[in-house]
Structure 1
Amino acid sequence: MDADRFIGQQVRVIRARRGISQQVLADRTGLSRGAIAKYESGERPIDSRRTLLALAAALDVTIGDLTGHEQDRLDPATAGFHVAVPELETVLWARGNVTDTAPPRSLDELTALTDTATRLRNDCDYARLGPMLAPLLTDAYRRVRDADPGSVDRAWDVLSAVTYGVASALRARGYYALAWTAAQESQRAATQTGGVAPVAAAAFSQGQIMLSRPGALPAALSTTIDTAEQLSAEVRTVGEIETYGMLHLQGSIVAATLGADPEPYLLEAAEQADRLPDARPSTSVTRNESFGPANVTLWRMSAAMEQRDPGKVLALASTVSAADLPNDGRRAQYFVETGRAYAMQRNYRDSLYALLRAEHVAPQHVRTMAPVRELVGHMMRTARRNLTTGDLGRLAQRVGVVPT
């Protein structure tokens, strides 16, 4: 296990470079010196976003500095996405004013392609999604520039939906700075439309990106919840309820990470999910079809996991099945949260089975998730030999904990 990789190793390396003792790091984070020692030795996994953010802030680094692995962007399964990022960056910087001699697709065609891209993103099929994004974004910008008065509002609505999807995909693959640029473009387009769903989606995207930065949690909470309060009186259609409800789900996980009570936000999200069957059809391209009662339960599981309550996570998991969730990304998250909860109870065999099911559902996503890598590495250090040489050992290779 000399080649084993875990977050605590990087904490130790950066702490040493900074000339900081374990006690000083403990004082800065509010953790005990013993906990720091266990994290650095790999005896205890860093399985909480709150702890990870506290360590990153104390060491003055980003979460990616602690969790990132160079092989993430060299994974052959997602190479198609990463190869497409430079072109996507150019399109965002130039707002679509790039060399492109092909005639732009119609708004109807762009709407259909946006739906396809959304399905691929929700199913975490980044290899197929990546090459679609730059041409889709370019044409969306061109339609805004060339729109006649009768189609300009619709063109801005399409651009808002496309940039929201681009921001979500970039964030999921670790391109946080570029994702922020896309989220700002989504907000700009949403302002032009004035629609509830585009405005809510842009705020949700910004809140998610800020959740990755130490010190930005208060801003992440205010961005999402303040926007929700501003929009609450206007929420009527399916798409508006979906995007508004997701703001409250985002608020719940930020609150849990801050050590506050996530329940008020979860209750509001649940009430909005109950409104969906009787709501009017959407008027905007922007949607978040992941939202619904089952997804609210999944976010309850994530909040309970952040509160380090594995019993509650597993109790909630028993009330919903993966089949109830709307896409592969959400199904994979269900199994990841279940696996993390089992591991917190030291039930490593059931934890491994849950993680294997998550990987089977959405391999491109799960194999690069920092919580999965951290947990698998911890199990490799503590599990019985028959597990490390079997399914667990092979999973450890696939997620990059140990070399193949």
Structure 2
Amino acid sequence: MYDEPDTFIGQRVRQIRARRGISQQVLADRSGLSRSVIAKYEAGLRPVDSRRTLLALAQALGCTLGDLTGSDDRIDPSTSAFHRTVPAIETALWTQGNLTDTRPPRTLDELSKAVEDASRLRHAGDYAALGPLLSDLLTDAYRLADGGSAQAWDLLATAAYGVSSALRQRGYDALAWTAVQESERAAAHADSLAPLAAAQYLKSQILTARPGALTAALMVANGTADRLTPDASTRGELETVGMARLQAGFTKTLAGGDAQPHLDEAAELAGRLSDSQPGRSTARNRTFGPANVALWQLSSAIERREPAVALRIAETLDPGNLPSGVRHAQFFVEVGRAHAMKRDHRAALHALLRGEHAAPQHVRGLAPVRELVGAMLREARRDLATGELGKLAKRVGVVPV
């Protein structure tokens, strides 16, 4: 066993439950879980490795997912540059770009390139480089859109979407919601349905992190996909509507339903990409395609706690077909979770290390990774705990550096 204390979700469950003055049995009754399972979570004998279980516990305790996962710890020093810029991003959103700024304004072409550069950093998971760019990017986008063309509004919609996505990944859900509302508002002035589909997809993602909001999250994603699919024709439109369909499927899984019809429809949209035209909108989701559909199938299998099914899907999926960065990392994280469910900790560690290599800032900030590494650490033999697993535990913030 590792000698230093670690942190895990069950500890926070126990602390919040004690502050609420309720017993394990009352929590079990409220969450639909068994008392024995809750006891194992609190003792660190079993990791909380399901989003559905997290939501049930958070709703029963009357807290947020962040309260349970510790997502507000801002653990990784390498992303401190992002966190320092959040107040400026917040100000840009609250003022809609109407703030003191003596920089020369960017042209539409310059802004388009800046939006593309920011998107590339976000997909790579380089939040430290991305964060300092976002407040100026938003400010310029607001100023060009004010009384401007449909192209300017399209750029604002894409910029605000990227800001919202980055904020959500770093644990700022409330501010991410503000940003995605701005993206949705701007999308109404654009001449493509792609920015609207992208904004609705992200709204659904944010809602899935709120206890009690799964019905709303499913309604947003499913309604968007149903409404926009018939008119989707350009590459960007197919990509963004396809992501909304994937989100509908995953939300259905979280709600305990069958995701397969949604995944099948997403696969059909992915099959149309090769014959589509690029379109004029800057709203894209280049991660969407057949390989990404398979990745979401893998994630759904993990959420259903079917590790053997997940690993069979993983065998059919070449990670080289996924975009480098965050999506590449997600593949290895999900494979690691599947191996951990089968209690193959060496294989799980190997997969997590590959995921960390693909997008270190992103993976080190993931609550499921911290929970999994902590659980593995508590069960590991000393040679494993003092080697790569112990080093990874320090990098993800499970134990003190």
Smaller-chain TM-score bracket: over 0.9
Question: Could you tell me how far 1:327 is from its partner in structure 2?
Answer: 2.5
CA deviation string 1:186-232 (max 9, x = no partner): 00001122521011001011011111100011100101111111112
**What does residue 24 of structure 1 align with?**
26
Hey, what's the Cα distance between the residues in 2 that align with 1:228 and 1:270? 13
Equivalent of 2:283 in 273, 283, 286: 286
For CA contacts below 8 A with separation 6 or more, give which structure has more relative contact order.
Answer: 2
Letter in 1 for 2:390: G
Letter in 2 for 1:161: T
CA contact (8 A) 1:290 1:327 kept: no
Letter in 2 for 1:324: N
1:101 has 2:102 as partner = yes
CA deviation string 1:253-284 (max 9, x = no partner): 11111100010110000011010000122221
Hey, what's the Cα distance between the residues in 2 that align with 1:76 and 1:371? 19
Letter in 2 for 1:353: H
**How many residue pairs align between the two structures?**
399
**What does residue 39 of structure 1 align with?**
41
Letter in 2 for 1:54: A
Hey, what's the Cα distance between the residues in 2 that align with 1:350 and 1:232? 40
Counterpart secondary structure, 1:193? coil
Question: Could you tell me how far 1:74 is from its partner in structure 2?
Answer: 5.2
- Name the TM-score, length of structure 1 as normaliser: 0.97
**What does residue 351 of structure 2 align with?**
354
What RMSD, in angstroms, separates the aligned Cα atoms of the two structures?
1.0
Q: How does 1:100-249 map to 2 (within 5 A)?
A: 100-145=101-146, 147=148, 152-249=149-246
Percent identical among aligned pairs is 59
Unpaired segments of 5 or more residues in structure 2?
A: none
CA deviation string 1:329-371 (max 9, x = no partner): 0010000000000000010000000001111111101111110
1:343 has 2:340 as partner = yes
Runs of 4+ in structure 1 off by over 6 angstroms are none
**What does residue 70 of structure 2 align with?**
68
Hey, what's the Cα distance between the residues in 2 that align with 1:34 and 1:74? 31
Q: How does 1:256-267 map to 2 (within 5 A)?
A: 256-267=253-264
CA contact (8 A) 1:160 1:190 kept: yes
CA contact (8 A) 2:235 2:273 kept: yes
CA contact (8 A) 2:167 2:173 kept: yes
Hey, what's the Cα distance between the residues in 2 that align with 1:314 and 1:308? 12
Question: Could you tell me how far 1:320 is from its partner in structure 2?
Answer: 1.2
Hey, what's the Cα distance between the residues in 2 that align with 1:73 and 1:394? 18
Counterpart secondary structure, 1:20? coil
Hey, what's the Cα distance between the residues in 1 that align with 2:105 and 2:83? 24
1:85 has 2:86 as partner = yes
CA contact (8 A) 1:113 1:136 kept: yes
CA deviation string 1:145-179 (max 9, x = no partner): 253xxxx1111111001001110000000000000
Hey, what's the Cα distance between the residues in 1 that align with 2:122 and 2:365? 15
Counterpart secondary structure, 2:279? coil
Hey, what's the Cα distance between the residues in 1 that align with 2:177 and 2:191? 20
Hey, what's the Cα distance between the residues in 1 that align with 2:375 and 2:76? 22
Question: Could you tell me how far 1:76 is from its partner in structure 2?
Answer: 2.0
Hey, what's the Cα distance between the residues in 2 that align with 1:358 and 1:164? 25
